[in-house]
Amino acid sequence: MASTVNEKTRHLAENIAKSLESGEAAVGQLETNDRIISRVTDGIYREPWSAFRELVSNAYDADATQVAIDSDYPFFNEIRISDDGIGMDSQTVADLLTNIGGSSKRTSRGKSLGTVSKDDPTESPSGRKLIGKIGIGLFAVAQLTNHFQIISKRKGSAERVSATVKIDTYRENTLVENDDETYASGTFKVVAEKTPDVDSHGTTIVLMNVQRAVREKLQSREIWDALDEQSADQTGGLFDVIAEPKFHIGRVSSDGLLSKEPQLPWASGCSPKNKFEALFSETIKLGRNSKDRTDLSHLDNYFKMLWRLSLGSPIEYLGTHPFDFKGSSNLEFYKLSNKQKGGAENVELASENRLREDLGLVAGTKDPLSKFSVFIDGVQLFRPVRLAEELQGSQDLPCPLLFAGKVETNFGGASEELSGGRLAFEAYLYWNSKIIPKESIGALLRVNGASGTLFDPDFLGYQIAEQTRKKQVTCEVFVLEGLDGALNIDRESYNTSHPHYLYIQKWLHNAFRQFATQHKRVGREVRDKQRINREQGAISKLSDFTGEVWERMRGNNLALPTLEVTEGDNGVSLPVKVGGNPITWNQPRIDPKKFRRSDRIEAVTITLDAYGILELLDDERRADLIFDIISIFEDDE
């Protein structure tokens, strides 16, 4: 039996003891226990969609242009993920299996293995910015199964490699007999075989014996069971707390049979793109009519998985990229300032110019392979973000607002240890009177096109009381360089004390303040116009009315009097001209503020003149009569 204390530990303990007399500190390097990797391979992701997301990201890093997932729904007994990436040869597969957590990505070792660009190890062979970095993405499958197979081939090679892997479940209370030896995370068998198809390339991962908990999660077992309990409840509750999903893949009974037929959002025969379009459209429709329930509650867990996987993958938008809107769009554009007390500037785009061209934005244009598509069970995924050009709720403003900006900084040349290195990102904030679906409310950070998080409705901890506006904004931050050092190992959360995260947080809060300021200004302008229009409408009605009175009393052969009303500066005189004859009075008690509605003076004067009353009075009496009548109206207000 090996000693429970290894040689390195014993040597360090001796040096610490010697420091008592020598005063010299013991120095060395921190070392990580190999069992930490076993914890990683035991599963670090919260939801099945997160594991699929990591496998999709691996394919993207391998220069795939297409990934196809066959989930075997609604049973999920065996799942296949296939891509057309560069694939792996014997050397690459060997490196993968013997270096868990020691990825060849972003290393010089990756250059020799062909997994990274020869010019820049932070890029794929084709020049894509890498998403992964520490080599645990493949073991995302441990969230789904402990038994899987990897089949891979490189273009130009007659060799195909197949590895079957079994991952051991880690138990915290298991005593490892030899503490100084590498902890085994599992076992594998690898075989290479000849194939005549030299030009084929790519990787297929087969997930066998998918864990029961995962199958039941994807089958929405907890939802169906809750519905059964609710139906059997005879206590007479005030309301149902669970509603059956509008769209689902059917119900699988405990004996593994389909007991309820699927309710899909698309019709049979739809194309892969049209299927996702139908899923999106139905979700938007249900969200528009939803008051109390969140939008995705209308979907079962499988369709939620599709939605969230599409949100986090580096794929195309279902609608227009936010930076590709043209000047002809029914949007009002603003450029965000990077100054702490700066303000957003209105951007006047030419009809055919895109926002990205005017502001020099590049996010969404830098894939050297031009495309990356993800299919799952015959559905092509797209980012479920479509910025509407029409208002979705209140019509207080004329159109939606789109704010955009960008940042590039090296933190004043500070060392990487202090600053985390260079940081570059672009972002937009989009306002609409109602954001549909509700799941798109908030801010989402994308690193090199991918995201492990959902939209954050608090905008990275924005504390200002803007609850109404927060619910009316969707925002994406596209990180082009940096921030990946702040990503935690699960890629679903951030080290919130990292300099890059803090910088983006501060910038975003400043951007939100700029948006709020402009939104208030635009709102005030709209309200002022509405008030003027209301007043003009009232004047128009008065003019029509007095015109009818004049015509009825004087006929249409006598022109309507030309009136000129001028307010005096000191409140002493207010001359009124009927035709060419002025009517003037001097009233020390006049308060000019009360005479806000000169249109009323005109209307009263014309009406009195139409009845011939003013003709019976001298100028002073005319002025007194008009003043007294108008005073009644003004005092009433």
CA 199 – CA 201 distance, rounded (Å): 7
Per residue in 387-424, pLDDT tens?
A: 999 988 766 788 999 999 999 999 988 888 888 899 99
Q: How would you classify residue 65: left for phi > 0, otherwise alpha for psi between -120 and 50, otherwise beta?
A: alpha
Per residue in 101-111, pLDDT tens?
A: 555 555 667 77
Instruction: Enumerate residues 6+ apart whose C-beta is below 8 A from 69.
Output: 52, 79, 80, 81, 82, 374, 375, 376, 377
Per residue in 213-245, pLDDT tens?
A: 999 999 999 999 999 888 877 665 545 567 899
CA 150 – CA 139 distance, rounded (Å): 12
Residue 49's pLDDT band (cuts 50, 70, 90): confident
How high is the pLDDT of residue 314? 95
Q: Where in the chain is the domain with CATH 3.30.565.10?
A: 35-172+179-218
Identify the residue with better confidence: 37 or 627. Answer: 627
How high is the pLDDT of residue 570? 43
| Contact present, 479 and 448 (Cβ < 8 Å) | yes
Instruction: Enumerate residues 6+ apart whose C-beta is below 8 A from 560.
Output: 546, 547, 550, 606
Taking residues 14-37, what's their average pLDDT? 74
CA 519 – CA 613 distance, rounded (Å): 52
pTM of the model: 0.79
How high is the pLDDT of residue 248? 97
How high is the pLDDT of residue 595? 42
Q: Which of 306, 294, 280, 297 is nearest to 388 (CA)?
A: 280
Residue 41: is its pLDDT beyond 80? no
Domain 35-172+179-218 class? alpha beta
Task: Compute the Cα dihedral for 488, 478, 138, 212 and give only its sign.
Answer: positive
Percentage of residues of the chain with pLDDT beyond 90: 46
How high is the pLDDT of residue 221? 94
Instruction: Enumerate residues 6+ apart whose C-beta is below 8 A from 117.
Output: 111, 123, 124, 125, 126, 127
Peptide bond before residue 368 is cis, with ω within 30 degrees of 0: no
Radius of gyration of the chain (CA): 36
CA 189 – CA 343 distance, rounded (Å): 61
Helix (H, G, I), strand (E, B), or coil: what is residue 374? strand
Identify the residue with better confidence: 289 or 165. Answer: 165
Per residue in 552-596, pLDDT tens?
A: 776 654 445 554 444 444 443 444 444 445 544 444 444 444 444
| Contact present, 123 and 63 (Cβ < 8 Å) | no
Taking residues 269-283, what's their average pLDDT? 95
Under DSSP, the state recorded for 393 is S
CA 78 – CA 377 distance, rounded (Å): 13
How high is the pLDDT of residue 63? 95
Q: How are beta strands 373-376 and 66-70 bridged, if at all?
A: parallel
CA 534 – CA 532 distance, rounded (Å): 5
Per residue in 123-156, pLDDT tens?
A: 899 999 888 765 566 666 777 888 999 999 999 9
How high is the pLDDT of residue 278? 97
CA 211 – CA 79 distance, rounded (Å): 11
Please state, as a whole number, how many other Cβ atoms lie within 10 Å of the Cβ of residue 232.
Answer: 7
CA 388 – CA 395 distance, rounded (Å): 14
**Residue 306 CB-density burial (10 A; 0-12 exposed, 13-18 middle, 19+ buried):** buried
Residue 475: is its pLDDT beyond 90? yes
Q: How are beta strands 473-481 and 442-447 bridged, if at all?
A: parallel
Q: Which two tokens stand for residue 633?
A: 């109206």
Q: Which of 447, 453, 445, 444 is nearest to 480 (CA)?
A: 447
